[in-house]
Amino acid sequence: MSSTTEAPVDAKVGSGDAITSKERTQFEMVVRRFMRHRLAVTSLILLVLLLLIAFVGPLFYKWGYEPQPGEIPIAKAPSGEHWFGTTRKAQDLLGLIIRGTQQSLKIGLLVAVLDIGIGAVWGAVAGLFRGWVDAIMMRIVDVIFVVPFLAVVAAVSTGINRVTWLEIALLIGLLGWGTTARLVRGQVLSLREQEFIEAARAVGASNTRIVFRHLLPNVTGIILVSATLAIVSAILLESALSFLGFGIQAPDTSLGSQVSDGAGSAQNKPWLFYFPGITLVLICLTFNFIGDGLRDAFDPRQTLERK
């Protein structure tokens, strides 16, 4: 997905009301463009449903994700009592998938927060200052890119007795913000030369204010699209780690570990593999389509009427 820069928000002296009005108008245009992206709107509705199922559903659903020998039959096909069937460990598969979805969403959302909080600010500061500051900061980003990401996370995971979703999210987030930093820096390098930044400097705005009040708001589209990609990458990476045995471990669960456990039963007990697999794909497609909608909504070249 390509990234573009939004129209700059003006920063002239004594124009607070005008700025607020202009920002409100731009926000309304963004919302209108997004609402015309049918796949994005559908995906947003689906995401809300997934969040409700993952975080509110356990309060109402009869079965949890823990094994319940004697109460839950072993490896039974979907039925009226167990909608998605049961596992070999006497677990209700729907309860298991709800828990896995919850863990995947928590990991993805925390990684997105770290991606924005570190990557966007890092890129904005590097682009604003340029020179030796920019050179040092971007060399650090280059080092992060050459780190064998999967190997580092797997090595750290093996050194921890029982890896939790929080530890995995922190590992992924602290090593995965480089792409956002580069994207934001590239846009800030052009924005810093525009008149509204010069006007902010002329009235004595500090570098901190310029970064947070003038630069970052004008690259919001890039940041949000990058965040959706970071969420998908984090969910898939955690799933890969769990599939390889380095991710979330029993008695907890994740969609990746469920796919791994069900892979050997895809022929004779397909529900063990396909239900968690389809859920994983659905989550990733949802965020991808939302990212597409955000990209089009923040692109000033898009018209209000989608063709």
Whole-angstrom distance, CA of residue 154 vs CA of residue 306: 44
Q: Looking at the DSSP assignment, which residues form a beta bridge with residue 86?
A: 92
Taking the whole predicted model, whether its pTM rises above 0.75 is answered as yes
Encoding tokens for residue 226? 């990058």
pLDDT, one tens digit per residue, over 258-277 is 988 888 887 889 999 999 99
* CA distances, 216 to each of 69, 132, 243 (Å): 54, 21, 37
Whole-angstrom distance, CA of residue 269 vs CA of residue 3: 43
Q: Which of 242, 226, 227, 229 is nearest to 285 (CA)?
A: 229
Encoding tokens for residue 285? 């497609």
- The three-class DSSP label of residue 86 is strand
pLDDT, one tens digit per residue, over 121-155 is 999 999 999 889 999 999 999 998 888 777 777 77
Residue 251: cis peptide before it, omega within 30 degrees of 0 = yes
Mean residue pLDDT of the chain comes to 85
Superfamily for the 23-298 domain:
MetI-like (1.10.3720.10)
Whether the CB-CB separation of 232 and 176 falls below 8 Å is answered with: no
